[in-house]
Chains A and B, each alone.
Chain A
Amino acid sequence: MSRDIPMVDVSHLEVFDRDGALAEAADHLNHLNRRGFLRGAGAVAGGGLILGAIPARAFGQTPKGDVAILNFALTLEYLEAEFYREANKDADLDAQTDRFAKLVLQHEDAHVAALKDTLKDAAVKKPSFDFKGTTSKQSTFQATAIVLEDTGVRAYQGQAPNIKTEAVLKAAISIHPVEARHAAWIRNIVGMPPAPDTFNPADDMATVLAAVQGTGFISTASSASSGDSVSGTPAVAG
């Protein structure tokens, strides 16, 4: 987008699959088996914060896999919501970008609320974030929003076939197209192809988490100690 993007090279994130470092991280994660992956994902994305907070007793009848997927989704929604909240405060946006940022913030907040409500005390805590200055001006906001939304679409899409519970699939599949609408919307605003693929690509959890880690946007990760040391503070009151 802009030549002077300060900290995060979003043009690289846009094609993060092809980025050396991130691809390496993703490859590494892809080697882990499912059980190992859950540990690895926690370590990568949030230093134990991300998927480690699921209590041993799975809530209700929801299978553990679905709880992990819901917490994965919640983490992405936390990230998006905070990103838009900060941009709405910090960036000087033109009319159409402002309209996008305000409405999408509402959506992401509502997604967070719904996921937390579903997960109840199994919900992961909201990490703290550092958006590396990308929210301070329009060009970096737009470029980053495209990356986050495209990633969100691929993430939900990748998880849909893994979901075991019909109610969880229904919820996820109703958020998935909303993220796709966001992605196309902001792409159209900046003049990028809104629908670049005939079949939207999907990403698995490890790839998404590696990409998110690559942004450095989740700042709790650096201060968290290790794999499964999770602060016991429940994320949700209800």
Chain B
Amino acid sequence: MPDELMIEDLDRDGAVAEATAELKTSRSGLLRRVGLLAGGGLVAGIVPMALSRAQTSKNDVKILNYALTLEYLESAFYAEALSKGKLEGSVLNFAQVVARHEAEHVTALEAALGSAATKKPSFDFKGTTNSQKTFLSTAKVLEDTGVSAYQGQATEIDSKAILATAGSILAVEARHASWVRNIIGAGKELKPAPDVFNPALTMKQVLAAVGDTGFIKS
């Protein structure tokens, strides 16, 4: 499932496929690392004010940190793509709007988590931000994965308030995914809405897929 999501799409582009293959090895390292951040010692015992007021469960803190990690990744990807200056027209507009959204998702999740928020990792996007073509194919994968990731957690979240927030982000990620697919797919086969029922991915599947990209360095 994660392979299908990531590789099927990235394979179309030579450079990214190469990077992906090369970085398979970092997968277990990432899993270890994210495991530590999201499920391990970091959150234990540290419940910030905002969360304790809402009586946020450990489970929900873990999910919020998982979401935050994905948003850090997306946000950094769009920021880098904009800084490279290779985008133009509708693609530039997409990147500008989505960069803002992802940065605001990060801010909101950080605020919700307070001191329980996981730290921003450092990233290496393997040159995918260097051209409009690789930017688009990578953005599509990241957004599709983001949708499936939020969707997969909806049934795991304990708090109604957090579920409502996650739902409001889920819909925005789906809009991004459809948007970039429509930009790529104009006049082609690629569908902005490829499924009758959007597939969900578990946390494990998403982390494995993210690990495969090698985008998270540390």
Contacts and interface: CB of A to CB of B under 8 A. Distances in A.
Nearest to A161: B160
A195 B197 contact: no
Contacts of A96: 186-187
Given A173-B167, A195-B179, A201-B168, A181 B105 contact: no
Which of A110, A166, A188, A202 has the most chain B CB atoms inside 10 A of its CB? A188
B28 interface: no
B168 A195 contact: no
Which applies to chain B's interface (DSSP): helix, strand, loop or mixed? helix
Contacts of B50: none
B173 to A, nearest CB: 8
B178 interface: yes
Contact of A199 (B98, B147, B172): B172
A185 B182 contact: yes
A29 B68 CA distance: 37
A197 B165 CA distance: 13
A184 B167 contact: no
Contacts of B98: 195
A20 B176 CA distance: 32
Interface residues of A, number: 40
Given A177-B151, A195-B98, A157 B197 contact: no
Nearest to B102: A198
A177 B196 contact: no
B58 to A, nearest CB: 20
Interface stretch (A2-10, A78-86, A100-108): A100-108
B100 A198 contact: yes
A181 to B, nearest CB: 4
Contacts of B92: none
A198 B171 contact: no
B97 A195 contact: yes
B167 A202 contact: yes
Contact of A198 (B101, B186, B198): B101
Contacts of B97: 193, 195
Contacts of B196: 106-107, 110-111, 178
Contact of A202 (B101, B164, B176, B182): B164
A189 B182 contact: yes
B133 interface: no
A177 B195 CA distance: 10
Which applies to chain A's interface (DSSP): helix, strand, loop or mixed? helix
B172 A200 contact: yes
A178 B198 contact: yes
A180 B105 contact: no
B197 A183 contact: no
A188 B179 contact: yes
B175 interface: yes
A6 B199 CA distance: 39
A181 B167 CA distance: 14
Interface in B159-202: 160-161, 163-165, 167-179, 182-183, 186-187, 191-193, 195-200
A199 B172 CA distance: 6
A91 interface: no
B211 to A, nearest CB: 23
Interface in A145-162: 153, 157, 160-161
Enumerate the 3 nearest inter-chain pairs by beta-carbon distance, A residue then B residue, closest first. A177-B174, A180-B174, A200-B171
Interface of A: 95-96, 103-104, 106-107, 110-111, 114, 153, 157, 160-161, 166, 169-171, 173-178, 180-185, 188-189, 193-195, 197-202
Given A103-B193, A170-B154, 14 more contacts: A96-B187, A103-B191, A161-B160, A173-B151, A173-B154, A175-B197, A177-B174, A178-B174, A180-B178, A182-B178, A183-B178, A184-B192, A185-B179, A200-B170
24 contacts: A96-B187, A103-B193, A114-B197, A160-B163, A161-B160, A169-B155, A173-B155, A173-B170, A174-B200, A175-B197, A176-B171, A177-B171, A178-B193, A178-B195, A180-B171, A180-B174, A181-B193, A184-B192, A185-B178, A188-B178, A188-B192, A198-B101, A198-B105, A202-B164
